[in-house]
Amino acid sequence: MNTFDFAPLFRTAIGFDRLARMVDNASASAEASYPPYNIERTGKDSYVLTMAVAGFGPDDIELTVQDNTLLVAGRAGDADGRKAEVLYRGIAGRAFERRFVLADHIVVDGADMQNGMLCVNLKLVVPEALKPRRIAVTAGASQIASEAGTPNNDSGTSARAA
């Protein structure tokens, strides 16, 4: 029996169900492997995108959110003005651009860079108008009128529920 590894299909969407992520990423190319990253769910409504960006400083990284897409771009900076001959390049320093599709109501809550790791905090923020709300159930209009002291019969007495 063959087993398939679907992990590559779940890499760049945050907050979507698995089927939507598979459809969105089915056409992703193999060249989108730099820089490496993790997406973690840290709570019911929160996520962290962690990218390994060794060789880049905070000024070399640009984060942009537009139309439910998070764009993380890195520009290669100078090597501190050094003009040394590189004998072996194992640390990539090339510019990159990585796009992540965000589900509705996912917002970037902040970003932090430490020890060559860029951490982007994401949160699901559902507007109050879209949140479920409880509706109070009241009795019929005749009971409301009778509780207000309005006569409910010909004798002019008000009927109260006991």
Confidence at residue 34, expressed as pLDDT on a 0 to 100 scale: 84
Q: What is the pTM of this model?
A: 0.59
Sheet harboring 106-114: ordered strands across?
37-43, 46-52, 117-124, 106-114
Confidence at residue 85, expressed as pLDDT on a 0 to 100 scale: 84
Confidence at residue 29, expressed as pLDDT on a 0 to 100 scale: 46
Q: Report whether the peptide linkage leading into residue 35 is cis, meaning its omega lies within 30 degrees of zero.
A: yes
Q: Are strands 96-102 and 13-14 parallel, antiparallel or unpaired?
A: parallel
Confidence at residue 80, expressed as pLDDT on a 0 to 100 scale: 57
Confidence at residue 28, expressed as pLDDT on a 0 to 100 scale: 52
Confidence at residue 62, expressed as pLDDT on a 0 to 100 scale: 94
Which domains can be identified in the chain, with CATH numbers?
7-128 (2.60.40.790), 132-162 (no CATH)
Confidence at residue 8, expressed as pLDDT on a 0 to 100 scale: 62
Residues (pLDDT < 70) of the chain are 1-32, 77-82, 141-162
C-alpha span between 17 and 155 (Å, rounded): 64
Confidence at residue 113, expressed as pLDDT on a 0 to 100 scale: 94
